[in-house]
A and B are shown apart, each in its own frame.
Chain A
Amino acid sequence: MTFEEIKRQATAEWESIEQHQIPVIRIGTATSDRASGALEVVEAFENELARLPVEAKIIQTGSVGFCNYEPLVIISKPEYPRICYKNVTPDMVPRLVEGFLLEDDPCMEFALGTLEGGNGSPPYIPELPRSEHELRLLLRNCGFIDAENIDHYIALGGYSALSKALEMTPYEIVEEIKRSGLRGRGGAGFPTGRKLESCLKARENPKYVICNADEGDPGAFMDRVVLESDPQAVLEGMIITGYALNSSQGYIYTRMEYPLAVKRLKTAIEQAKQRGLLGEDILGTGFNFRIEVFQGAGAFICGESSALMYSIEGKRGFPRVRPPRSIEAGLWHKPTQLNNVKTFACIPVIIGQGSEYFSNIGSPRSKGTAVFALAGKVENVGLVEVPMGTTLEKVVYDIGGGVKDGKRFKGVQIGGPSGGCLPEAFLNTPIDFDSLTEAGAMMGSGGMIVMDEENCMVDAARFFLDFTQKESCGKCVMCRLGTKQMLSILEDIVSGQGKPEDMEQLINLGEDIMAGSLCGLGRSAPNPVLTTVRYFREEYEAHILEKRCPALVCRDLIAYYIIPEKCYRGCEHCVLSCPSEAIVEHPKRFKVVDQSKCVKCGNCLEVCPPEYNAVVKLSPVSELPSSDLPIKDEK
């Protein structure tokens, strides 16, 4: 079958849905939607449709990326604009089916907004303030197409780039990618075109193409959403790369923690094979390319390219000394092109729309868009795609909606455990590879965690270092032992045992670890500590010199205290919730925390009714008012 025929069939199928005579219900069922109960919503819709005399088509899509509004449902009904419903629960479904589908009440009280129209109310999503800054290049299909139906992807322009590429020479493809200015989305930002060119020039054969989907950074989920919502885009990028390098074997290395992504990828591979877009003799050109999904086994270090390749070979994931670089001697010592999920997803855009289209987006030295997983203390948690060069402030405030619950912004952690924490003064930093590195953070794979006044920066640094220390493979001494030493200094600080010279010690150790480690893990592991020491020095000083945690987080430096004047005296919420029986009654009937028994779980604070609000955290512990309670031994 020629590509024209495949496309005609796919378009016909898509139009039969889009030029609907029956309503279409799109329900996001990616992992995070499922966690908020999307599958129960699907079931509720199926039940309602079976019960009532109304016909509608249900499509399970990936995620739009608006995580705080999940489960998200988009209903298109003839003569209505497409309406997005937020936080849909099974209880709302009968109203939607009966009210909107059967009758004509669009239930706007449940709606987030509409996707067409736009004359004031109801809110028109493309005109929301956040939409002004966003540009959905890679996420364009996410949440709108059925990720397990290749025809949807093809109908919306998918695989046109492959069909175009197959008529180009490998050098033309590589030139086009070089001209686009695309840089690797895995974090370091090496120019993809240059890497491809070197791999193309490598003499050895066979060559391999590897997609790095080992998204191990805690707090990052961009690659997962792309794989679960639009897997064909990644496959298409890999097939084009394979063609350009005359490679016949590709691997996708994913985390084992992403079962749904693996399932959808495998379905996507099967469907692409059926259409003749993957496998033997692709589109009748004689080019063969296979893709195998390889599930990792839970080692963060395998996100590093040489470790990842050893892992595919069935070995321990130890990074190795370079040169030789993987483009010369990678998997099985053969030339290997390894790129991130999003890098591959960019390639169909570049080949399909031309390098100029791509290079017109973004900043002078970083082209295209950046995809971030925005999380932490921010209103609009979810995926964000903006042109490179957009400032942090726009992402956190205009798109993210600012800090949650009106708290004060403290910092933003970019790039996960390899990145850094940037304070308020850096909010006008443009998001691109070079500006972030200059500020001491890094693009990383794209996790962005917003922190507010209730987050302790010393604790955050300790958290990240604890992670990298556990994940260090142990090959380089500086990384293996140095991070352990840094961690024990940080643990001393958060437990009130810090010494004034600790900060200098941390900086020295950090710099040495970066110099003495082979791979990106060790070379970036001290980043979170170094940036917090640099930008939040006063917090370290408070911990060390005053034994005080300003954010009231570090457990050894805080105490829970019940304010006698506020305690209602008649209620027992705190007493019942305490796991260690640490709350006792004063003879005057207010409650008192027995500090010797308190495990600092925070239950009492959580359950104290808001109208009394009697439980507070105090730091330093020495400020604790004496309870004048001679706690009697009842025996």
Chain B
Amino acid sequence: MEGVVEELAEILALCERDRSRLIPILQRVQDAFGYLPKEALLEVASYLGMTDVQIYGVASFYNHFRFTPLGKHPIQMCMGTACHMVGGRLVLEALERALDIEVGGITEDRELSLDRVACIGCCGLAPVMVIGEKIYPKMSPAKVDEALVNLKIKAQEAAKD
């Protein structure tokens, strides 16, 4: 994990050594690694002169911070009110079946991970699924396979190029 420490040194060099900047610092670390590696948390703690537990206490309080990596294509299913009212849960279950993982999990090949989000604010298009940056409006369980197959084809094409 030496890479982590070096890359982290570069990130921390840009951050103020101020305890109140903890959340923005953790956000930068997560942007760089996709999650908060344990080594990185320990480094942040010594940089800010805080204990490991204090850092973990803050990081684990906020839903945005994760301690395991995301898939290459992270899938987020919106579980906001509008999406729930039109069957968002059925879509989520269809995703769990299709990927054979549970919410919060990641596929064995580390390609896809599945999470639920509270609301992405596109209530007019409910139910909404997001893969990476792309928003899939008006989803249904039957459309799940189609979206995943298209994703696989694209990934294969990208691999060929």
Q: What residues of chain A lie closer than 8 Å to B123, measured between beta carbons? A: 67, 219, 221, 373, 375-376, 381
A619 CA to B97 CA in the complex, in Å? Answer: 25
Q: What residues of chain A lie closer than 8 Å to B79, measured between beta carbons? A: 218
Whether A34 sits at the interface, judged by CB under 8 Å, is yes
Binds B, one of A113-121, A293-301, A511-519: A293-301
Q: What residues of chain A lie closer than 8 Å to B24, measured between beta carbons? A: 294-295
A130 CA to B18 CA in the complex, in Å? Answer: 52
Q: What residues of chain B lie closer than 8 Å to A216, measured between beta carbons? A: 118-119
Closest 10 CB pairs of A and B: A67-B124, A219-B81, A297-B62, A298-B64, A218-B80, A375-B123, A298-B63, A221-B121, A314-B22, A381-B124
B94 partner, pick from A300, A313, A381, A579, beta carbons under 8 A: A579
A449 CA to B126 CA in the complex, in Å? Answer: 12
Whether B125 sits at the interface, judged by CB under 8 Å, is yes
Inter-chain contact B82/A606, CB cutoff 8 Å: no
From known contacts A35-B128, A219-B80, infer whether A602 and B87 are also in contact, taking CB-CB under 8 Å: yes
Residues 583 to 635 of chain A near chain B (Cβ within 8 Å) = 599, 601-603, 606-607
Q: What residues of chain A lie closer than 8 Å to B93, measured between beta carbons? A: 599, 601
17 sampled A-B residue pairs with Cβ under 8 A:
A32-B121, A35-B137, A67-B125, A218-B79, A218-B82, A221-B123, A257-B120, A297-B63, A298-B62, A314-B20, A314-B23, A315-B58, A376-B85, A463-B81, A579-B97, A603-B141, A606-B140
1/0 per position for B117-148, CB-CB distance to A under 8 A?
11111111110100000010100111000000
A376 CA to B87 CA in the complex, in Å? Answer: 11
Whether A447 sits at the interface, judged by CB under 8 Å, is yes
Inter-chain contact B124/A382, CB cutoff 8 Å: yes
Whether A224 sits at the interface, judged by CB under 8 Å, is yes
Residues 67 to 88 of chain B near chain A (Cβ within 8 Å) = 79-82, 84-87
A606 CA to B146 CA in the complex, in Å? Answer: 15
Q: What residues of chain A lie closer than 8 Å to B97, measured between beta carbons? A: 579-580, 599, 601
Whether A536 sits at the interface, judged by CB under 8 Å, is no
Q: What residues of chain A lie closer than 8 Å to B86, measured between beta carbons? A: 377
A376 CA to B126 CA in the complex, in Å? Answer: 8
Whether A311 sits at the interface, judged by CB under 8 Å, is yes
Inter-chain contact B81/A218, CB cutoff 8 Å: yes
Residues 89 to 134 of chain B near chain A (Cβ within 8 Å) = 90, 93-94, 97-98, 117-126, 128
Whether B65 sits at the interface, judged by CB under 8 Å, is yes
Inter-chain contact A312/B20, CB cutoff 8 Å: yes
Inter-chain contact A460/B63, CB cutoff 8 Å: no
Inter-chain contact B81/A299, CB cutoff 8 Å: no
Inter-chain contact A219/B23, CB cutoff 8 Å: no
From known contacts A297-B64, A601-B141, A606-B141, infer whether A217 and B119 are also in contact, taking CB-CB under 8 Å: yes
With both chains docked as a complex, state the minimum distance between the C-beta of B5 and any C-beta of chain A, in angstroms: 22
With both chains docked as a complex, state the minimum distance between the C-beta of A532 and any C-beta of chain B, in angstroms: 14
A467 CA to B88 CA in the complex, in Å? Answer: 14
Inter-chain contact A602/B90, CB cutoff 8 Å: yes
Inter-chain contact B26/A376, CB cutoff 8 Å: no
With both chains docked as a complex, state the minimum distance between the C-beta of B110 and any C-beta of chain A, in angstroms: 23
Whether A267 sits at the interface, judged by CB under 8 Å, is no
Q: What residues of chain B lie closer than 8 Å to A463, measured between beta carbons? A: 81, 84
Q: What residues of chain A lie closer than 8 Å to B154, measured between beta carbons? A: none
Contact size class for B? 35 or more
With both chains docked as a complex, state the minimum distance between the C-beta of B126 and any C-beta of chain A, in angstroms: 7
Known: A35-B128, A447-B81. 14 other contacts (CB 8 A): A31-B122, A216-B118, A217-B119, A218-B84, A220-B121, A221-B122, A294-B23, A297-B27, A300-B118, A375-B123, A460-B84, A473-B61, A579-B98, A602-B87
Q: What residues of chain A lie closer than 8 Å to B125, measured between beta carbons? A: 32, 35-36, 67
**A interface residue numbers (CB < 8 A to B):** 31-32, 34-36, 67-68, 70, 215-221, 224, 256-258, 294-300, 311-317, 373, 375-377, 381-382, 413, 416, 447, 449, 451, 455, 460, 463-464, 467, 473, 577, 579-580, 599, 601-603, 606-607
A463 CA to B21 CA in the complex, in Å? Answer: 35
A36 partner, pick from B23, B98, B137, beta carbons under 8 A: B137
With both chains docked as a complex, state the minimum distance between the C-beta of B84 and any C-beta of chain A, in angstroms: 5
Inter-chain contact A256/B27, CB cutoff 8 Å: yes
From known contacts A35-B135, A67-B124, infer whether A257 and B90 are also in contact, taking CB-CB under 8 Å: no
Q: What residues of chain A lie closer than 8 Å to B80, measured between beta carbons? A: 218-219
From known contacts A32-B125, A297-B63, A603-B141, infer whether A220 and B23 are also in contact, taking CB-CB under 8 Å: no
Q: What residues of chain B lie closer than 8 Å to A36, measured between beta carbons? A: 125, 137
Inter-chain contact B90/A601, CB cutoff 8 Å: yes
Look across to chain B and name the residue whose beta carbon is closest to the beta carbon of A302: B62
Q: What residues of chain B lie closer than 8 Å to A298, measured between beta carbons? A: 62-65
A299 CA to B24 CA in the complex, in Å? Answer: 14
Inter-chain contact A257/B121, CB cutoff 8 Å: yes
Inter-chain contact B90/A219, CB cutoff 8 Å: no
A306 CA to B94 CA in the complex, in Å? Answer: 39
With both chains docked as a complex, state the minimum distance between the C-beta of B32 and any C-beta of chain A, in angstroms: 15
With both chains docked as a complex, state the minimum distance between the C-beta of A395 and any C-beta of chain B, in angstroms: 15
A413 CA to B140 CA in the complex, in Å? Answer: 24
Look across to chain A and name the residue whose beta carbon is closest to the beta carbon of B91: A601
A313 partner, pick from B20, B81, B98, B121, beta carbons under 8 A: B20
Inter-chain contact A375/B82, CB cutoff 8 Å: yes
Residues 1 to 57 of chain B near chain A (Cβ within 8 Å) = 19-24, 26-27, 57
Q: What residues of chain B lie closer than 8 Å to A467, measured between beta carbons? A: 118
Q: What residues of chain B lie closer than 8 Å to A601, measured between beta carbons? A: 90, 93-94, 97, 141
Inter-chain contact A375/B126, CB cutoff 8 Å: yes
With both chains docked as a complex, state the minimum distance between the C-beta of B104 and any C-beta of chain A, in angstroms: 12
With both chains docked as a complex, state the minimum distance between the C-beta of B26 and any C-beta of chain A, in angstroms: 7
A224 CA to B80 CA in the complex, in Å? Answer: 15
Inter-chain contact A70/B20, CB cutoff 8 Å: no
A142 CA to B146 CA in the complex, in Å? Answer: 36
Q: What residues of chain B lie closer than 8 Å to A300, measured between beta carbons? A: 118
Q: What residues of chain A lie closer than 8 Å to B118, measured between beta carbons? A: 216, 218, 257, 300, 467
A218 partner, pick from B22, B23, B119, beta carbons under 8 A: B119
From known contacts A217-B119, A257-B121, infer whether A606 and B85 are also in contact, taking CB-CB under 8 Å: no
A36 CA to B64 CA in the complex, in Å? Answer: 26
Inter-chain contact B65/A297, CB cutoff 8 Å: yes
Look across to chain A and name the residue whose beta carbon is closest to the beta carbon of B21: A314
Q: What residues of chain A lie closer than 8 Å to B64, measured between beta carbons? A: 256, 296-298
A413 CA to B123 CA in the complex, in Å? Answer: 14
